[in-house]
Amino acid sequence: MTSSQQNLPRVDSPDPPRVAGRAASLALLVVLFASFMDLLDVTIVTVAAPDIARDLGASEAQLQWMLAAYTLALGSGLITGGRLGDDYGRRRVFLVSLAGFAVASAACALAPTAGVLIAVRAVQGLAGGFMVPQVFGIIRSSFAPAMMAKAFGAYGAVQGLASVAGPLLGGALVDADLWGLGWRTIFWINIPVAVVALALGARVLPESHAPVRARLDLVGAALAAAGVLLVLLPLVQGRDWGWPAWGWALLVAGVALLAGFLGYERAVARRGGEPVLDPGLLSVRPFTSGLAASVLFFGGLASFFLALSIYLQAGTGRSAWDTGLVILPYAIGSMITSGAGVALAAKAGRALLVTGSLTLAASQALLWWLVRDGATPGYWSLAAAMFVGGLGLGLSAPILVNVVLAGVPGRQAGAAGGVLSTVNQIGGAVGVAVLGTVFFNALSSTGSGDPAEVFGHALAKVMPWQVATYLLAAAAMLALPKTAAAHQT
């Protein structure tokens, strides 16, 4: 149930135009509409995944790609999207990206095959990656300080609402089967929201730019995305391919491309350009520890809900709506602790991160205990495990970026925030690839039998990996600063 974190745009001119009153309220409504759609699409697909697989005949690898393609494309677009808004106008880039997100959502709803759905999910994620940075850029550059604080508070509330609405709305729409559309309604629902936001945004959103135009590092962004994709391909497709030697060669090529990306970024920095990843950041220990913690933390998070949704529906026979109800306590737990986590981050940020990650590990261990023997756990047993996990998520996820930034020099904070936000999404894609493959490998090796036993065995195989992921994340977090950065994001 990960969400998009902000890319930190460059500061505007000393006296940018500000909006207030009714205009500010309408402008905030527009950007919150867009944020809600982006956050919703991270979670809503996992609940519908089994129905999508049945309807389109999707393979297990294709199910993984439906999630990984979106998060990878989203992460790939965040930094470039932020700089496009800085240079060409945040209002303009926001509206174009929002329109692209709506068109891609319609294409998802109309997708005739799993391959087409994966492709348009990637387009949808890229549009979201361009759109999300503009939300924060517009709020920072165009709202008066008092309104800005309220705006970021409203954004936090929308995050919580989307985390609750995603699984419930996805389950309700799939089960309702409106007009015989089934799972396709989870994408159609974006269209009216986008139309309203576009109509309002064209009238009320102010335009803003950064004072100095920077050269976009498109080559660096492309190298990074291509390298990660080549690493993910054999991890996701390897089992379907039969683990051929050329698949491992792709993995090696991906690692080599990522090494080439770092070399290219150093060359861009030496020329005085603005690389996607400032190589100087890699010498800052809290930042590198933060990268490791982000990959592990969000990797475990993204992969978990795909496996859980399949287990609940295919293994225990629950409906999509019932699956959403099982996940609901997770969102409630997160909402309970997230406010306290943000309030206490300036005093005990690192301790909260470690506590949250260890709490998530405990929740995964509890879930393993419930499914290990093939029995079908009751609702309240599952809800308790999910609630504990949500408490851990609320302590960690909202403040991770700020705690990492506390150890980064102020002049590098904007670049570091953008990179961390990107890595959060890439970590999610990597988690879906690696831990999703563990789940499906365990599923195929179990053979036939009682569905609760077969799918419970597969989920139980994943849980120790999940526990280890959060324990390693907690270990990486020990190298972070003790408190969060003074500027809240």
CATH of residue 294's domain is: 1.20.1250.20
The span from the CA of 331 to the CA of 329, in Å, is 5
Confirm whether 449 is domain-assigned: yes
Confirm whether 241 is domain-assigned: yes
**How many C-beta atoms surround the C-beta of residue 315 within 10 A?**
23
Q: Could you tell me which residue, 12 or 149, shows the higher pLDDT?
A: 149
Backbone phi, then psi, for 13, in 5-degree steps? -60, 160
Q: Looking at the structure, do residues 402 and 330 belong to the same domain, yes or no?
A: yes
pLDDT at 362 over 80: yes
Q: Looking at the structure, do residues 186 and 50 belong to the same domain, yes or no?
A: yes
Q: Looking at the structure, do residues 285 and 412 belong to the same domain, yes or no?
A: yes
Confirm whether 295 is domain-assigned: yes
* Domain membership of residue 245 as a residue range: 218-275
Q: Looking at the structure, do residues 84 and 189 belong to the same domain, yes or no?
A: yes
pLDDT of 160: 63
Average pLDDT of the residues in 22-26? 76
pLDDT of 487: 47
Q: What is the pLDDT of residues 439-453, one digit of tens each?
A: 988 888 776 778 888
| Phi-psi sector, 243: left (phi>0), alpha (psi -120 to 50), beta | left
Average pLDDT of the residues in 457-464? 92
Average pLDDT of the residues in 140-145? 74
Q: Which of 227, 338, 353 has its CA nearest to residue 290?
A: 353
Confirm whether 211 is domain-assigned: no
pLDDT of 488: 44
pTM listed for this prediction: 0.84
Q: What is the pLDDT of residues 312-339, one digit of tens each?
A: 999 899 999 999 899 989 988 988 888 7
Q: Could you tell me which residue, 472 or 217, shows the higher pLDDT?
A: 472
Confirm whether 485 is domain-assigned: yes
**How many C-beta atoms surround the C-beta of residue 282 within 10 A?**
15
The span from the CA of 296 to the CA of 99, in Å, is 33
Q: Determine what percent of the chain is predicted with pLDDT higher than 70.
A: 90
Q: Could you tell me which residue, 303 or 157, shows the higher pLDDT?
A: 303
Q: What is the pLDDT of residues 390-400, one digit of tens each?
A: 999 989 888 88
Q: Looking at the structure, do residues 333 and 231 belong to the same domain, yes or no?
A: no
pLDDT of 292: 92
Q: What is the pLDDT of residues 65-124, one digit of tens each?
A: 998 889 888 888 888 888 888 888 888 999 999 999 999 999 999 999 999 999 999 999
Final residue of a structural domain among 180, 204, 228: 204
Q: Looking at the structure, do residues 371 and 304 belong to the same domain, yes or no?
A: yes
Distances (CA, A) of 22 to 26, 147, 199, 395: 6, 12, 16, 34
Which H/E stretch holds residue 474?
A: helix 451-477
Contacts of residue 23, Cβ cutoff 8 Å, sequence gap at least 6: 204
Q: Looking at the structure, do residues 362 and 270 belong to the same domain, yes or no?
A: no
Percent of the chain that is helix, strand, coil (3-state, to 5):
80, 0, 20
**How many C-beta atoms surround the C-beta of residue 32 within 10 A?**
19
Q: Which of 337, 256, 300 has its CA nearest to residue 424?
A: 300
Confirm whether 435 is domain-assigned: yes
pLDDT at 16 over 70: no
pLDDT of 10: 43
Note whether 418 and 404 are within 8 A (CB). Answer: no
Q: How many domains does the chain have?
A: 3
Average pLDDT of the residues in 245-257? 91
Q: Looking at the structure, do residues 147 and 81 belong to the same domain, yes or no?
A: yes
Confirm whether 209 is domain-assigned: no
The span from the CA of 243 to the CA of 251, in Å, is 11
pLDDT at 30 over 50: yes
Q: Looking at the structure, do residues 266 and 182 belong to the same domain, yes or no?
A: no
Q: Could you tell me which residue, 417 or 431, shows the higher pLDDT?
A: 431
Residue 143 in 3-state DSSP?
strand
Confirm whether 213 is domain-assigned: no
Contacts of residue 180, Cβ cutoff 8 Å, sequence gap at least 6: none
Q: DSSP label at 283? A: G
DSSP assignments along 383-406, one per residue: HHHHHHHHHHHHHHGGGHHHHHHT
Q: Looking at the structure, do residues 398 and 447 belong to the same domain, yes or no?
A: yes
Q: Looking at the structure, do residues 166 and 42 belong to the same domain, yes or no?
A: yes
Q: Looking at the structure, do residues 227 and 125 belong to the same domain, yes or no?
A: no
Average pLDDT of the residues in 232-240? 84
Final residue of a structural domain among 275, 292, 307: 275
Final residue of a structural domain among 174, 204, 234: 204
